[in-house]
Amino acid sequence: MAFRSAALATLLLVATGPASAQTAPPHSLAEAVASPVRSPSLVARDAARHPQAELEFFGITPSSNVVEIWPGGGYWTEILAPYLHDHGTYHVALGDAEGDRTEAAFARIPTRLAEKIKAEPALFDHIRFTELAHGHDVIAPPGTADVVLTFRNLHNWMAADDATEMLDAIHAALKPGGILGIEDHRARPDQKQDPQAADGYVRQDYAIALIENAGFKLVGSSEIDANPRDTTHWPKGVWTLPPSYALGTQDHDRYAAVGEADNFVLKFRKLGR
**pLDDT greater than 80 at residue 5:** no
pLDDT band at residue 9 using 50, 70 and 90 as cut-offs = very low
The beta strand positions in the chain, using DSSP E, are 65-69, 89-94, 128-131, 145-151, 174-185, 216-222, 263-270
Is the Cβ–Cβ distance between 123 and 37 less than 8 Å? yes
- The total number of residues written for the chain in this structure: 273
Instruction: Give me the pLDDT at residue 22, please.
Output: 63
Instruction: Give 58-62's long-range contacts (Cβ < 8 A, gap of 24+).
Output: 58/147, 58/149, 58/179, 58/181, 58/267, 59/147, 59/179, 59/267, 60/29, 60/147, 61/88, 62/86, 62/87, 62/88
pLDDT band at residue 101 using 50, 70 and 90 as cut-offs = confident
The domains located in the chain, with CATH, are 6-270 (3.40.50.150)
Mean pLDDT of the chain: 92
Span 230-252, average pLDDT:
98
pLDDT band at residue 2 using 50, 70 and 90 as cut-offs = very low
Count of alpha carbons within 13 Å of 237, Cβ hemisphere only? 13
Cis peptide upstream of residue 243 (ω within 30 degrees of 0): yes
Q: What percent of the chain has pLDDT over 90?
A: 88
Compute CA distances 230 → 21, 186, 199, whole Å: 42, 9, 13
Span 212-237, average pLDDT:
98
Instruction: Give me the pLDDT at residue 202, please.
Output: 98
Instruction: Give me the pLDDT at residue 8, please.
Output: 46
**pLDDT greater than 70 at residue 272:** yes
Amino acid at 22: Q
Lowest mean pLDDT among 15-29, 32-46, 85-99, 188-202: 15-29
pLDDT band at residue 23 using 50, 70 and 90 as cut-offs = confident
Closest CA to 62 of 34, 38, 76, 81: 81
Q: What is the pTM (predicted TM-score) of this model?
A: 0.92
Instruction: Give me the pLDDT at residue 19, please.
Output: 41
Closest CA to 139 of 178, 171, 104, 103: 171
As a whole number of Å, the end-to-end CA separation of the chain is: 19
**pLDDT greater than 50 at residue 151:** yes
pLDDT band at residue 18 using 50, 70 and 90 as cut-offs = very low
